[in-house]
Amino acid sequence: MGDTDVTGVAPVPAEHLVTDVAEDLSVFDADIVEKAGQIIARYPQSRSALLPMLHLVQSVEGRVSQAGIQFCARQLSLTPAEVSAVATFYTMYKRKTCGEHLVSVCTNTLCAVLGGDDIYRTLGEHLGEDGKRLGHNETAGEPGAPGSITLEHAECLAACDLGPVIQVNYEYFDNQTPESAVALVDALRKGERPAPTRGAPLRDFRTAELELAGFWPEDEESYRSTVDGPSAAVETLRGAALAEANSWTAPPMPNAPLPAEEPRAGSSMSGGEKK
């Protein structure tokens, strides 16, 4: 299986730290400010808009920069430290500029034993240069330029029944092999957009980020008509089909009474009493 390193913990690089330097926010133009307003208006409290806001700034720069953190903080009346804490917690927020495409290889247990580790190692070697394997969150090509590809290993991508799986900009490519994965990234580098196994057509990373912020193409109806493929594959339903063919059923739930509710501090209501 080789020596795929999926456990290394890197020290916090400088770009992860909050600075006191006021950044130039002009990259977030009037259109982005207007979109930020639309996102904030979806929530009763502005701070609840932080996750889609981070996707919005990522759609502009291909990462969450210090400027992006300060933009979110200003729009949401948060501190840069609060925004940074969230941006550095979730792996979908990138601190280094992503390639035109983000290729995520699942190396969690099931995909790993089905070949995910081999796929990740093969892609690292294929995309690397001068005998150096491309590592986690590293980019082949100039980040953001056409044909550039950022490679990452990912934890379970929620498609274990169809493993080993790869996502490109979060769209699924199921039942992959090292050979099919190499063909996929070669097509991406040539500017092609191979059709995912299911779901929406393939976009570039920044457009996918805009969609994650909740902004869809103008012509939403025709866009939706291009979303293809079943959400449940034969493999997904195999257990249910076997149960049906063999008349297997789950045992009934025991009819045990629910425990009485503990009275809450400061409440005069007895257990189980409702307002």
Query: d(Cα 106, Cα 181) in Å, to the nearest integer?
Result: 12
Of 50-58, 118-126, 156-164, 191-199, the window that binds ligand FES (rule: CB under 6 A) is 156-164
- Told to check if 157 binds ligand FES by CB under 6 A, we report yes
Smallest distance from ligand FES to CB 109, Å: 6
Instruction: Walk across the sheet containing 101-106 and list its strands.
Output: 138-140, 149-154, 101-106, 166-168, 171-173
Please identify, using beta-carbon distances, which residue of 171 and 204 lies nearer to ligand FES: 171
Q: Is the peptide bond before 217 cis (omega within 30 degrees of 0)?
A: no
Structure tokens at 28: 């977030």
Is 174 exposed, middle or buried, given 0-12, 13-18 or 19+ CB atoms closer than 10 A? middle
Which of 64, 83, 53 minimizes the C-alpha distance to 15?
64
Smallest distance from ligand FES to CB 233, Å: 13
Positions 111 through 130 that interact with ligand FES (CB under 6 A): 111
* Binding-site string for ligand FES from residue 162 to residue 191, where x marks contact by CB under 6 A and - marks none: -x-x--------------------------
Positions 220 through 249 that interact with ligand FES (CB under 6 A): none
Which residue type is seen at 264? R
Smallest distance from ligand FES to CB 112, Å: 7
Residues near ligand FES (CB under 6 A) are 106, 108-111, 156-160, 163, 165
